[in-house]
Amino acid sequence: MEYRNLGRSGLKVSVLGLGTNAFGSRANQETSTRIVHHAIDSGINFIDTANIYSKTESERIIGEALVGRRHQVVLTTKAGLVKGEGPNERGSSRFHLQRELEDSLKRLKTDYLDLYQIHTFDPYTPLEETLRTLDDMVRAGKVRYIGASNYAAWELMKALGISEQMGLSRYVSVQPCYSLADRTVELELVPLCLDQGIGIIPYFPLAGGILTGKYASGATPSGSRADKDPNFAKRLVDEKRIALGEQVAQLAQGLGYSASAVSLAWLMQRPAVSTIICGATRVEQLEANLQSIDVSLDAQSLASLDEMSDPFRHSTPFATYRLP
């Protein structure tokens, strides 16, 4: 396993991380626990969750799975998206974040987080309030590092400027949607991260399964995320992205690898990428993703992947999550 610094921080993270939004929903506790343990045994040390995944079940299951193994992982969770119907059950106010942090720590059975991420930009709360709250959490020893998710480039740069001006803890990472099928972050966010030393943590690196080739010709495999989640299935109507998945699968076949492994290997070589969030609902799926570590893409293959995915630098983002 390869380990990289998370941005310009000294924190080392595995280049392949474990995404857990299926834990407690599409993967039951027993299966999820096996996935966590197999990930750790395979060298993965970065585990990503959020306070809203599977209605908090993801955090609870991870907490149980990490009993006796907490010290082996870089554990991160998020808060900021809509948690409930109350007026203070969303956003990144001091009120909401402090309560959500304490609840997450209890579910995760730990007294600290290695990385605490704001799940999306909050236009209704001053950034000064959010960043001061996060700085207090770091000073209290409950959080080691802080990161952002779903921030636009200008929002992230504004936050970095405020942190520098006020002497507050600084975001070390940002988590955007990023893959061969969505390269929109390369226009502004990636150059910013390179300039400011921010680590990129891509989510949806396989575009919800499109880049595995399993949705070719309009197929919807039984048990897939599109099959289980009608809202997610709406993302799969883009014929151009489906066609890209077929192209990647064809190239990968010629190289002797799976389309998933090639897609992840391409992303691992993109500038500023620290670790990639890859979910799994079965141990076998995790094992397939781990094959990307051993994929070696030559210059011609990289150029082909760049060319076929270039239209998605200027396309509509595959996914982004914002407060209503």
DSSP secondary structure code for residue 175 in this structure: E
Q: Where are the alpha helices (DSSP H) in the chain?
A: 29-41, 57-65, 94-108, 127-139, 153-166, 189-196, 225-228, 230-233, 239-255, 259-268, 283-290, 299-309
Residue (of 272, 301, 305, 209) closest to 4 by Cα position:
272
Whether residue 53 lies in the annotated active site: yes
Residues 214/263, Cβ–Cβ less than 8 Å: no
DSSP code of residue 12: E
Least Cα distance to 198 among 234, 174, 165 occurs for 174
The dihedrals phi and psi of 2, each to the nearest 5 degrees, come to: -95, 140
CA–CA gap between residue 182 and residue 205 (Å, rounded): 9
The Cα–Cα gap between 310 and 32 comes to: 36
What amino acid is encoded at 317 in this protein?
P
Show Cβ contacts of residue 187 under 8 Å, excluding neighbours closer than 6 positions. Answer: 313, 314
Query: What is the spatial distance between Cα 44 and Cα 59, in angstroms, rounded to a whole number?
Result: 18
Q: Which of 53, 116, 145, 178 is catalytic?
A: 53
CA distance 74 to 133: 21
Residues identified as active-site: 53
